[in-house]
């Protein structure tokens, strides 16, 4: 299996694991959104909690230039660490939610 196919599978598995964990709410659905053609992946909450509308992105991950970009993480989960555990090298993970000037201080790729 080539690297990109492996990364796509790793991301989908990670999102599905969180989806199973988060789907305990009755009226709020947790959806995995995948666009494999353009390599965009998201996990979103959508639904109602009592009389309050719930909608929001939980995770947003892209694959760009052969690297996994974590664009947004709205949880306490350390997505980058989870990806490393699944075999993704740190130099192929970019913390896109950090500014480029701050990325150099992490143990992950700058871009």
pLDDT of 26 above 80: no
The C-alpha atoms of residue 13 and residue 101 are separated, in whole angstroms, by 31
pLDDT confidence band for 24 (50 / 70 / 90) = low
The highest-level CATH class for domain 3-103 is alpha beta
* Mean pLDDT computed over 26-31: 85
CA dist list (Å): 4 to 12, 29, 63, 66, 80 = 12, 29, 8, 7, 16
Q: What is the pTM of this model?
A: 0.92
What is the DSSP code string of 19-59?
HHHHTT-SSEEEEEEEETTTTEEEEEEEEEETTEEEEEEEE
């Amino acid at each position: 299996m080539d690297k990109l196919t492996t990364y796509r599978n790793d991301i989908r598995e990670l999102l599905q694991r969180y989806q199973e964990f988060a789907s305990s709410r009755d009226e709020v659905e947790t959806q995995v959104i995948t666009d494999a053609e353009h390599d965009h992946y998201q996990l979103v909450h959508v639904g109602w909690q009592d009389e309050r509308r719930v909608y929001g992105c939980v995770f947003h991950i892209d694959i760009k230039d052969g690297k996994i970009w974590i664009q947004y993480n709205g949880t306490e989960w350390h997505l980058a660490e989870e990806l490393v555990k699944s075999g993704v090298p740190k130099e192929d993970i970019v913390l896109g939610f950090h500014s480029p000037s701050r990325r150099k201080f992490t143990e992950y790729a700058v871009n």
